[in-house]
Amino acid sequence: MSTLREKMMQDLKLAGYAPKTQRTYLDAIGDLAKFCWSPAELGQEQVRAWVDRLTQSKVGPQRLRQHFAALRFLYGKTLGHPELVAFLSWPRDPDRLPAVLSAEQVDRLLKALDLPKYRVFFTTVYATGMRLGEACRLQTGDIDAARGVIHIRGGKGGKERLVMLSPRLLAILRAYWRQERPTAPYVFTSKTGRPLSADVARGALKKACAKAKLGKKVTPHTLRHSFATSLLENGAELRVIQVLLGHASIRSTTRYARVSAGLVKKTKSPLERLPKTG
């Protein structure tokens, strides 16, 4: 007889959820099971008690959304009782502007990466706007030099897309490949030949950030934000940036219009339109 975890795992696979998402949802329901022992036997009041406990804890908005999504899947799909979680509302992140780096700061950061592998890795992230995991899984066959594009496979939500491959990045990648000879089929690998670990890459960037003395926290996603903002300031349309970043909604992309200092500077104040007085 299948356990509740096994049933939910089967349903997640049938629904086409990525392995990472499957683990996240199962871990969230595992936390619920520690709280109540048997999630299948709960009524709405007990589910509400768990949600209340979560919202009063130090769980951030993103993790809270993951818990809620797991609850909706469990009760809506696996157990067939969507009414038990009909009360859930999605928690929102604070409306903060994404941190971005200037071109000079990006240059300092990349130069502070001691090993060529990490320097080329994060140069690729900045040059294409890839997510960290996408860059870690990049394969040589994904690089289409003839068309000047890189094929991103297995992105967020399992979606595929194309990003630009600039002549400069192509030259950098070719020089890197000749020197490093990474284990096929991946472009960036560990010493064991496996795809580069995201945690190892984050650690290298953290050390480089301290060495570059940028005075701000920098994550791999900061380079993605900087990529998008630079494109916007240089005339790229929001719809194009949306496609390059792989955003499902244009709303996720429009925040770069709010953070772009270049666009703000170019926009004339209404004061300039007033008649000049003596």
Active-site position among 25, 75, 118, 256: 256
225 is catalytic: no
Active-site position among 206, 221, 239, 258: 221
Give every CB contact of residue 66 below 8 A, 6+ residues apart in sequence. 24, 25, 28
Nearest by Cα to 115 from 179, 178, 56: 179
265 is catalytic: no
Active-site position among 67, 137, 161, 224: 224
207 is catalytic: no
Structure tokens at 60: 């951030």
Length of the chain: 278
Nearest by Cα to 162 from 228, 246, 250, 249: 246
131 is catalytic: yes
Active-site position among 63, 151, 247, 255: 247
Active-site position among 156, 207, 211, 255: 156
3-class DSSP state for residue 97? coil
Active-site position among 67, 117, 119, 131: 131
Do the Cβ atoms of 38 and 5 come closer than 8 Å? Answer: no
Distance CA 155, CA 134 (A): 6
Nearest by Cα to 107 from 229, 5, 226, 260: 226
Burial class (CB in 10 A: 0-12, 13-18, 19+), 106: buried
Structure tokens at 175: 């020089």
Which residues are the active-site residues?
131, 156, 221, 224, 247, 256
